[in-house]
Structure 1
Amino acid sequence: MNSADKNMHPWAFGISFLILTVVIGFLIFKTYQLEDKNYQIGQLNLIQNAYGTAIMDDKIFPGGDSVFQTALVPYLPAWFKKVMNKSPEAKLYGEQRMHLFLERLREQQSLDRIFQQIVRQQQLDPALLYLFHFDKLELYNPADSTWKVFYDSAGDNKMANISGSLKNRSPNNRVFQLAVSDKLPIPYRFTYSLYVDYENRNWRIIQQMVPVFLLSLTCIAVIVLLSYRTYRDWINQRRLIDLKTSFLNHMRHEFNTPLTTILVSAHSLIDRDDDPDNKEVIQLGRIVERQAKRLKDYFEQVMGSVALQEQQPAIVEVPVDLFTEEILEALRMRYQGEIEICYSPLGRDVTLRLDEAYYLSILDNLVSNAIKFNGHTAKTVRLTWEQTVDRHCLKIEDNGYGIAPSERDALFTAFYRGQSSEGKPGLGLGLYYVKLCLDRLDWKVRLENGASGGTIFYIYIDNGSFNSKEQN
């Protein structure tokens, strides 16, 4: 693992955690907005219906119409004329009339009594507060057939509050906004609103959302913990891999150096065959050479099976028949007539995508087993190809002992040695190594005993790994 990887992963974790936190925060905020919008909507509907029944055809509250008729309506024609004539007194006149009108509304309002009565009748929470607010007054202009605004309590205009002690008003706690119109003495229309809420509305909503907050924080904590543990385990795993790689390289060097020295020394002893007095030395040299080669083969097999787990296959495209023949010819030379190796090629110009070292190891180990676990004088192994609609099959058949059905499941396990292995050299890694190579190539294997004895290995390869030049 290089330094760039080490620096990249903390940054990736930090950015991912930041994005996750922002997303969760956004979702919580949207949830709060939804809760704020729908908070106590049932209570507001009850209040709206009960209020409509209480006032019936009156204005704002019972007796409110008389206030309009005495404190506002008689002055509307004069106000309208001043505004239409653009009189300098129009603004001051309007402000004075509205101030007196709103004062009369506040003095004679019965809204406190009506609201408390609604709370009791509908069995609502006594902690609810309300606010009646005069929003706007409009007069009709027949000249252009439009409604002209004469008074607008935009913003936080407390002078337009009619009654109630609720301080904060918003679209979310507004029960209704009503527009009432009349035609006499001139057409006019006014709008007012009723707001009902708790004084500590936001805190109540937050309290309701406590489970959401706790669940979100728990999820974030769990994700952070799992991410940290995953990252820590990944770092430890990379360290172990680096340590394993360094150990394997060191072991190869430390073992190969003395083994090579032993083999060179053994060759030096064997080369003394021109001296008849050194027969015992020559014999000893051959024994040392044979055992050193055996030890080297075991060591390479163990190192190969361990290192293979960390390697990635180097896939190349090779002519399958030519490459297979080259491998088998090298095996014939190595085993010098110990076994007859027969190969039936595909018989056409076909290439196969594979890892050359893996393919060599597969054939080498299977041929070696065909020699080792074989009691016949004339040992044979045959390699033939079979093809189906979706895959090719390399069939490898020997005339050895065969494999007992009870041993087949454990045959590809590391260090497993069956009944036929008694008294024979080996570590039980050959077929385990074969299976590792097959898995890395994504090939499948099946085995069975032949009709006349021996073992048959079927290696299945998807047709996608093959390429025929005749088809190009």
Structure 2
Amino acid sequence: MKDRIYKSVVLVSFLILLLVQLRLTYNSYVLRDRDYSLKEKTLINDEYGRSISEDKVYKDGGKIIDSILSINMPALKQAYLSNRKEFVKLSQSVSNTLLKDLRKKSTMDSVFRSIVKRNGLDSNLQYLLTFQSIEINFDTNIGNIPIFDTSTDTLFKADQKTPFGVIIDGTLTDPNVQNRVTNLSVSGKLVYDYRVTFNLFVDPPGRTLKVAYQMLPTFLLVALCIIIIVGINYYTYISWMRQKKETDVKSDFLNSIKHEFNTPITTILVASKSLHEDEVLNDRIRVNALVNIVERQARRLHSHINQMLEISEINNNVHLEETDLNYAILTLVNDYKIKVQAPDSLTFDPHGSEILIMMDPFVFTTMLQNILDNSFKHNHSNIKMTVLFITTNKDGYTLHIKDNGKGIEDTMKEKIFDKFFRAGKDNAVSGLGLGLYYVKQCIDIHGWEISVRTEPGNGTEFLVHIPKEQAIISTNH
């Protein structure tokens, strides 16, 4: 859980930082783009403003505008005052005629090239001249009346229009606010007043790439900063995971001392207590059996001490031996029975044949002990019963460990083999939730499989599936 939270916090922090960096970089790009060739645009604006003061749009452009509007002004006034629909229709006709003549007779190219040459500007500069609006005024009380603007329907095709008006002349393909040199309105006085508004855009080819190239050092610094931050976070995460793993190993060891050492210690204590009884002391056979149990459990405890230090690396310390499955189970069951008090019972029904398989006796014993501990510790029946038996199938052998306990709910079945997981919150039952976790580890080490059959109220049955390929030989007694 903490690992997921840590990852989420790091990821969110990184995304926020990345967005901030990208936003700052974008703002820097916008500023650089806006100020690109600022000196040239200012110079062109001043030069062009002076050159068209009398020629309206370009040299001789004023004559074209005056000639067309002077003829149509009276008709426009009459239509406006008497028939607005006719005024709109006439306005469109006048606008189309005016714009066609301005496009046809444009001298803007020679005007612009003259400005560039006269001021020693970049000869690759491109321009675009657009006609934005025409307004007339024949009554000061009425004010300016538009007869054409960017929303007016015209006869021009889509490639002859822009959001800034109809194209009069020029080859610049991307007019925008950043490369607009001027948005200028000029007035004229004929029979009535009028005003025309146009835009001039100037830009060198490949402007975007040039601005991006100028921003390259900034882009590289941002990329380097992001790489360094990712590296620092990754290194921090790896170090944290390494420390967490070391802490888990220590924690596993301390927890295992209590969980895994209880069985042999309890067995030794019970056997030792029995040796103090006069009835037992007078029976040499029982004394020898108890001494053998004490010796066997002491060796097991010694093995625990040596091997539990490396429980987290158990996969690297497996010693497979040819072992009879019946004998291994029977030996453990006989030792375990000393802890089972009547009327509780633990029984094992050996298989009819000797089953020789390659196994690690210590690992197998650890696995089976934990399952038996689980079957008795969590069994609250008046008479606790656990039965072990082996069955044969086409795929191999199955060891069954079945008890008559309370069973496990379906929602818990998938989690019972997780480390530290405990089904229920019964504080009266000791344990740290490691038993079945070690069972699953032992099963995985041998390449076996384990499944669970259970339902609440009808006990639990663990099934350890051993592949037939692992059996060395199977003979009848």
Give the alignment's TM-score, normalised by structure 2.
Answer: 0.48
